[in-house]
Amino acid sequence: MAIPERFLDELISRNDIVDVISEYVALTKRSGSNLFGLCPFHSEKTPSFSVAPDKQIYHCFGCGKGGGVINFIMDIENLPFRDAVAFLARRVGMEMPEDDVPSQVRSYRARLLELNRDAARYFYENLSKPEGAAAVDYINKRGISAAMVKKFGLGAAPDVWNGLTGAMLDKGYSAGELVDAGLARRRKGSGIYDTFRNRLIFPVIDVRGSVIGFSGRILGDGEPKYLNSPDTPVFIKSKNLFALNLAKKSKRGMLILVEGNVDVVSLHQAGFDCAVASLGTSLTAEQARLMSRYTQNVVISYDSDSAGVKAAQRAIGLLEKTGVNVRVLRMEGAKDPDEFIKKNGPDAFSILLDRSENHIEYKLLVVKSKYDLDTDDGKIGFLKEATELLASIPNAVEREIYGRRVAELSGVSVEAIKSETAKAGRRISIARKKERERQNLRPDMTLQPASRELRYDNPASAAAEEGVVRLLMIDNSLLSETAGLAPEDFTSPFLGKIFEMVRERTAAGEDATASSIAAQLTSDEASQFTALMQRPASASNAIQALRDYIDKIKTEQLKSKAGDNLLAVRERLREKKGFGG
C-alpha cells in the first residue's frame, strides 16, 4: 500500500534534518542561516555540503546531490524509499503503516527483533566475562582487532546449555519466542536449550539495521564448523547476506563475495569494506538479486579448492542473470582471502583485486585445468567444452576475442575455432527449440513468457509479474499500489530488475516510459523487454488487476518453504487468544 501523506509529514517533522545529518557529517561552518560540512558523497577538502535548517533541505555544490531528510537517508544508507522511511520511523519510534500484514504478525515480528537485539547484547557482553575467554582467544588468534569486534558486534556463546535461554527468560521472553527466533531448541521431554553453544557469534544485520539472525563459529572441535540461525519469521538465509548492512555504504563501487564470515571481517579490517558472504549456503538467486540492487560490479573471491571453484562457477551464472559485471579473483599460495592478506598484506590483495579476471576468462581457465593439452585427447576434450562456452556468449565481439584466446591455449587455428563454435551454437539452438516446443505443449501454456528467449522457473508467478510490469508501463501512478511488493518478490530476476528501475525513476521524479527503461538495458534485455511490451494490456480496472497480480505473486511465494514458515506462524498466532491485546 502507499504510505499516507500525513504519516510522511509527521515523519519529516520528527526527524530534524540537522540532527539526522549531524550523525554522519560534522556541521560546523555557518554561512547565514545555513550549516556547512564536508560532503559524505564525494571526496573534498573544502566544505561544499550545505544544510538549510529553515527549509529542511541539503545541497552539495560539488557533486549536486540534494533533497530532504528522506533523500539523505536513501543516499547515505543506500536504501530504497520505503526502507529509508522505515529507517527514520524506527529512529523516532514511529510504527510503519503496514496494513497488508496482519497486526498480530507485525507485532510478533517486532517482538522477535527485540529478542534478537537483546541476544546480540548478551553475546557481546560475554566477551568481557570469564565464559567468553575461549572466544576472545580465538579472536586474538585470528588477529581480529577490537575495532572490528565492535563494528560487527561479535560475541560469545558459552559452553553451557542454558546461558542465553536463562538470560532471555529472565528478561520476560517466552520459551516459544526463543524457539521461533531460532535461539533455542525444544528438548525431547520438556523445556528448551541454547541453539548456540561454545561458539564465536556473528550477528546477522539487515540493511535496515535490525538483528535478524546469528551465525556461530565452533570454538574447538565439533561439527558443524559454522551454525546459522534457521529460517524464522524475521530471517530467511537465502535472502540475506552477511555484512551487507556495512558493505552497502562502501565507496569502492563493488561488492566482494567471499565464503566465510572471518574472511569478511578480515577484508573489512584490511580496508576492503565492500566484502559480504552468503550464510552457510551456496549463493542463491535471491542473494544475487539483492547484490545487484547495490552494485553493478561483483568480484567473487571464494576458496581456491575444488569446492570453491565449483561454487564460484555457480555464483557466476546466478549473478550474470541479474546483469551485473562479474569478475573472479584467483589466489595462489593461500586458500582464502584471510590467509592471503595475513601472508602478503592488503596492498598485495589490492593488486590481486585489480587483476581479477572477468567471468569468461575464468571459465576458460577452469575448463583448461580439466585437460592435458599436450595430448590429442586432451585438446579434443578442451575444444569441445570451450567452444560450447564460446557459443553461449551472446556478444559477437566477445566471441571473437575469446575465440582467439581458445586458439592460443590449444594451438588450433582461429578458423577451426570459429567453425566448431558455430556447430556448438547450432546444437544449442536445436536444444532450445525442442525445449520451447515441449513448453508449448504444457497445459499451462497461457502462462508462457512474452519473449521465447525468456525462461521462467515459476511460470505462474512470472505471468503475474509480467502483468505488473505492463500495467506500470501504461500508468506509472499505479506504482503507489505496489508498496507491499519488492524486487526480490519476483521469481524472474529480469522482471524484478524492470520493476526496480520503474521505482527508481519514479522516486527521482522521472517518467518511467518503455523507451527510457529500454535505454538502460543491454541489447538482449531490450529485445526481451520490447517483446514483453508487445503483449496486449488494458488499463481498464487497472487497480483491481494490479492487486490480483500482486496477490498471485504473494500466493506463489507462500508456497515456498519460507512462506510455509510464515503461514505456520500466522496459524499459531490465531490460536493464541487475546495475543497482543
Backbone angles phi, psi at 431, to 5 degrees: -65, -40
Give the list of residues 6+ apart from residue 385 with CB closer than 8 angstroms, or none.
367, 370
Task: Tally the residues of the chain.
Answer: 581
**Cα separation of 36 and 31, whole Å?**
7
For 103-235, CATH gives: 3.90.980.10
Q: What is the pLDDT of residue 446?
A: 36
**Cα separation of 398 and 440, whole Å?**
32
**Cα separation of 21 and 269, whole Å?**
26
**Cα separation of 81 and 86, whole Å?**
9
Per-residue pLDDT of the chain (581 residues; tens, 9 = 90+): 567 778 888 899 889 999 999 999 999 867 677 899 999 988 888 889 999 888 899 999 888 888 899 999 988 888 888 888 988 998 888 888 765 566 777 788 889 999 999 999 999 999 999 999 999 999 999 999 999 999 999 999 999 999 999 999 999 999 999 999 999 999 988 899 999 999 999 999 998 889 999 999 999 888 888 899 998 989 988 889 999 999 998 988 899 999 989 999 999 999 999 999 998 778 988 899 889 888 889 999 998 788 888 888 889 888 888 878 889 898 888 889 999 999 999 999 999 898 887 777 777 877 888 888 888 888 888 888 888 888 877 777 778 888 888 888 888 888 888 888 888 888 877 876 776 666 554 433 333 333 334 567 778 788 889 889 988 887 777 888 887 788 888 888 889 989 988 888 777 767 677 767 877 777 667 777 777 776 655 555 677 788 888 888 888 877 754 445 555 555 555 444 443 33
Which residue intervals of 127-155 are DSSP H helices? 133-141, 146-152
Q: What is the pLDDT of residue 189?
A: 80
For 459-567, CATH gives: 1.10.860.10
Helix (H) or strand (E) holding 200: strand 199-205
Maximum CA extent, the chain: 80
Q: Place domain 5-91 in its CATH homologous superfamily.
A: Zinc finger, CHC2-typedomain (3.90.580.10)
Q: What is the pLDDT of residue 520?
A: 74
The β-bridge relationship of strands 297-300 and 325-328 is parallel
For residue 539, give the C-alpha cell.
488499463
Q: What is the pLDDT of residue 158?
A: 96
According to DSSP, residue 242 is labeled B
Grouping H, G, I as helix, E, B as strand and the rest as coil, residue 67 is strand
For residue 78, give the C-alpha cell.
543506500
Within this chain, domains 103-235 and 244-356 share the same CATH topology: no
The β-bridge relationship of strands 49-52 and 34-37 is antiparallel
CB distance 379 to 371 below 8 Å: yes
**Cα separation of 419 and 405, whole Å?**
15
CB distance 451 to 527 below 8 Å: yes
**Cα separation of 487 and 493, whole Å?**
8
Q: What is the pLDDT of residue 422?
A: 86
* CATH code matching the domain that covers 244-356, chosen among 1.10.390.10, 3.40.1360.10, 3.30.70.2660, 3.30.830.10: 3.40.1360.10
Domain assignments of the chain as residue spans, ordered by start: 5-91, 103-235, 244-356, 370-439, 459-567
